[in-house]
């Protein structure tokens, strides 16, 4: 890795974080804490994969959430990378959680606050005494992207991301996941956008935000439970190498000053496609219920996901954990150490 490469610049930036922490006499309040494993990997140019934590607190009940989070971390490790689950604990943003921290977050469940970008400052100010969650925040895709890009983690894997909600043209309910992707040089690998959301408008909005959208081995953007959404993507990738090249371009973007991110949709594995279609057919009822009950704001996504799970007797949750699987997409050291575009 050349000393002027974007990766080394990011590593330097992230070292500054560490120095700041030490110069504050070990006080980590209001600071970003990077776990020793993640710090070591970033410092040595090894692959790190960021993981969100709202799926742990609000996406699944305990102990299934802990089991899934642990399995996902193990899959990242099997593929030669270091997992960095991100959450705010006691007011401190933590990049990479220990087993104890993961256990704590999983058992806090919805007592931890769902934390999007707009909530970060509030949760971090828990010592002012008015944060009901005690300063424990489970980061959504938007807040996770924010922290990942701050410390120089270029790849982030998750299940489903937020999007433009149905009737978003009236409610303006558009997930901050999309705007964050537009301003952060991070590649998000996801099983797509669930059809509880308005997929065509989500893709339009991503275009407006300047986000590169690609799909893995298909021309269509996946809809999480189904391989197809009826929406074409501008970019198709067919191998882990294609993905690595595109992710390398994220750094080139950084160099150009574009600073925008990438979304890569990986369709549900073939063996789960049939149950996925069954779950998809159960989505209309919760959508109507949410409208009837006036569920809105950041409560809508957890409400819809819980109802779909209830209706499908747990099948959607099982699919959620399968959809969460990384499609043997390991971005190795060599891919990440040559991120520079043409000089
Ligand atoms: N969509 C899913 N599963 C999820 C989420 C969305 O299929 O777990 C979570 C993610 O954390 C995402 C957040 O970032 O919900 C988006 O919430 P909102 O729609 O309130 O922006
Ligand atoms: Mn919203």
In a mutational test of the pocket of ligand 1, which residue from 160, 168, 295 has the highest number of ligand atoms less than 8 Å from its CB? 160
Length of the chain: 343
Q: How far is the CA of 16 from the centre of ligand 1 (A)?
A: 31
User: What is the rounded CA–CA span in Å between residue 292 and residue 173?
Assistant: 17
**Do residues 264 and 326 make contact, with C-beta atoms less than 8 angstroms apart?**
no
Residue listed under structure tokens 């087993």 = 99
The answer, yes or no, to whether any atom of ligand 1 lies below 6 A from the CB of 162, is yes
Please give the number of the atom of ligand 1 that sits closest to the Cα of 194: 7
Return residues with CB closer than 5 A to ligand 2 (ion). Answer: 173
The pLDDT of residue 24 is 41
The pLDDT of residue 129 is 75
The pLDDT of residue 312 is 86
Tokens of 82: 């270091």
Q: Which of 160, 156, 176 is nearest to 168 (CA)?
A: 176
Q: How far is the CA of 163 from the centre of ligand 2 (A)?
A: 8
Q: How far is the CA of 1 from the centre of ligand 1 (A)?
A: 35
pLDDT in tens, the chain (343 residues): 444 555 555 555 555 555 544 444 333 434 799 999 999 999 999 999 999 999 999 998 999 999 999 999 999 999 999 999 999 999 999 999 999 999 999 999 999 999 999 999 999 998 777 788 899 999 999 999 999 999 999 999 999 999 999 999 999 999 999 999 999 999 999 999 999 999 999 999 999 999 999 999 999 999 999 999 999 999 999 999 999 999 887 777 777 888 899 999 999 998 888 888 888 888 989 999 999 999 999 999 999 999 998 888 888 877 766 544 333 333 333 333 333 333 2
Listed in sequence order, the residues at least 6 apart from 191 whose beta carbon sits closer than 8 Å to its beta carbon are: 159, 160, 222, 224, 265, 266, 267, 268, 323, 324
**Do residues 143 and 115 make contact, with C-beta atoms less than 8 angstroms apart?**
yes
**Do residues 213 and 237 make contact, with C-beta atoms less than 8 angstroms apart?**
no
């Amino acid at each position: 890795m050349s000393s002027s490469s974007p990766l080394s610049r990011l590593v330097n930036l992230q070292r500054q974080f560490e120095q700041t922490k030490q110069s504050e006499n070990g006080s980590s309040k209001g600071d970003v804490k990077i776990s020793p494993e993640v710090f070591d990997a970033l410092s040595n140019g090894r692959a790190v994969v960021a993981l969100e934590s709202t799926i742990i607190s609000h996406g699944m009940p305990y102990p299934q959430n802990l089991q899934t989070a642990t399995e996902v971390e193990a899959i990242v490790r099997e593929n030669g990378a270091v997992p960095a689950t991100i959450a705010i604990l006691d007011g401190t943003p933590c990049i990479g959680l220990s087993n104890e921290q993961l256990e704590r977050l999983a058992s806090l469940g919805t007592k931890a606050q769902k934390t999007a970008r707009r909530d970060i400052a509030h949760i971090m100010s828990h010592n002012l005494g008015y944060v009901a969650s005690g300063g424990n925040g489970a980061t959504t895709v938007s807040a996770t992207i924010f922290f990942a890009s701050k410390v120089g983690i270029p790849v982030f894997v998750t299940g489903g991301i937020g999007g433009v909600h149905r009737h978003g043209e009236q409610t303006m309910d558009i997930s901050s996941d999309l705007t964050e992707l537009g301003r952060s040089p991070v590649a998000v690998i996801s099983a797509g956008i669930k059809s509880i959301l308005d997929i065509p408008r989500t893709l339009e909005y991503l275009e407006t935000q300047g986000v590169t959208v690609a799909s893995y081995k298909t021309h269509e953007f996946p809809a999480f439970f189904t391989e197809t959404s009826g929406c074409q993507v501008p970019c198709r990738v067919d191998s882990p190498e294609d993905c690595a090249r595109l992710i390398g371009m994220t750094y080139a973007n950084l160099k150009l000053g574009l600073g925008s991110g990438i979304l890569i949709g990986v369709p549900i594995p073939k063996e789960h496609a049939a149950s996925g279609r069954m779950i998809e057919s159960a989505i209309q009822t919760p959508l109507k219920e949410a409208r009837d009950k006036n569920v809105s704001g950041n409560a809508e996504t957890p409400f819809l996901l819980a109802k779909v799970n209830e209706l499908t007797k747990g099948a959607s949750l099982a699919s959620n954990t399968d959809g969460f699987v990384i499609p043997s997409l390991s971005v190795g050291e060599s891919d990440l150490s040559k991120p520079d575009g043409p000089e």
